[in-house]
Amino acid sequence: MISERTLPSFDPASIKITHEEGLMLYEDMVLGRMFEDKCAEMYYRGKMFGFVHLYNGQEAISTGIIRALRRGGQDYVSSTYRDHVHALSAGVPAREVMAELFGKATGCSKGRGGSMHMFSAEHKLLGGYAFVAEGIPVATGAAFQSKYRREALGDESSDGVTACFFGDGASNNGQFFECLNMAALWKLPIIYVVENNKWAIGMAHDRATSQPEIYKKASVFNMVGVEVDGMDVLAVRAVAQEAVARARAGEGPTLVEALTYRFRGHSLADPDELRSSSEKEFWGARDPITRLADYLSKNNLATAEELKEVDNKIQQLIEDAVQFAETSPEPPASELTRFIFAEDE
């Protein structure tokens, strides 16, 4: 059973965050949670179609890793089919993410990507990928070009770091091993982030791999491997900051295994009958948003009123995103084949 694996210990007193940083982390996670809850509502109301995979419970990983990167620079994010919250943390406006889910022309992928294929060149979001492990080679290529620009083309400003997200199931795929080998050989500036939520659709992780502790697989590539409590945003952020610094310094990649849990089924079409109630209760008690709120309050980094203001602010933002999506135009039929091929500027 997954809850038997001991979560890594982390002493919050070992790091210091400011009032502003604490509120930023809280707001980012609340945005992800409220957005996904609204997606569930819209899906069941028939506003969204196809498969929709929600991120509830895993917010500490998206916030902890992506918000440790630079926005507006040369850092990249590669996602999975559970990509809405990664897009939000990367800075893609909630309006554009919601509109994409509605299949509207104002979406970040012009309505072509839908739930599983979020993309934004402006925000350095390399895409969500429907096939398991599909994004790992893409992210590895992005990290390679960052290093190539700096070392081969002499661009000293090219110090970008790529964060590559994938699930525990992807760590058994060939792309995982091939790309980690190349990244280690070339010391690429990349962070491979395994969001180990213990279930690859309906297959329990421990039944599908000969080495359940995925971070230990880094050792065969002479790569730094780190295990972290993925339900603790401060722990994830601390690990991310070290990995980012190592990558920017030219010291190569890091494999981060974040132990987490999705609070909903694999997708909104999943009745979620395979997981036990005791397992759900174990992880539900470790809600990353509640944990951060408690930490901020106990350490006088935020008042209850400030946290409530954030909640209200995000609620209004989500409602605005839905209204924007509902009133946005459909992609015109005349552009059905557009964006299949490259276009002139």
Q: How far apart are CA 47 and CA 202, in angstroms?
A: 26
Overall average pLDDT of the 286-305 stretch: 97
Distance from C-alpha of 61 to C-alpha of 257, rounded to nearest angstrom:
10
Weakest-pLDDT range from 1-10, 113-122, 315-324: 1-10
> Hey, is 93 helix, strand or coil?
coil
pLDDT of residue 36 exceeding 60: yes
**pLDDT digits 0-9 by tens, 250-289:** 999 999 999 999 999 999 999 999 999 999 999 999 999 9
pLDDT at 4: 57
Mean pLDDT, rounded, for 193-210: 92
Cα 197 versus chain centre, distance: 12
Percent helix / strand / coil, the chain, rounded to 5: 45, 10, 45
> Distance between CA atoms of 329 and 107, rounded to whole angstroms?
10
17-324 CATH pick, 1.10.3430.10, 2.40.128.720, 3.40.190.10, 3.40.50.970: 3.40.50.970
Is residue 6 helix, strand or coil?
Answer: coil
Digit-coded pLDDT (tens) for 85-142: 999 999 999 999 999 999 999 999 999 999 999 999 999 999 999 999 999 999 999 9
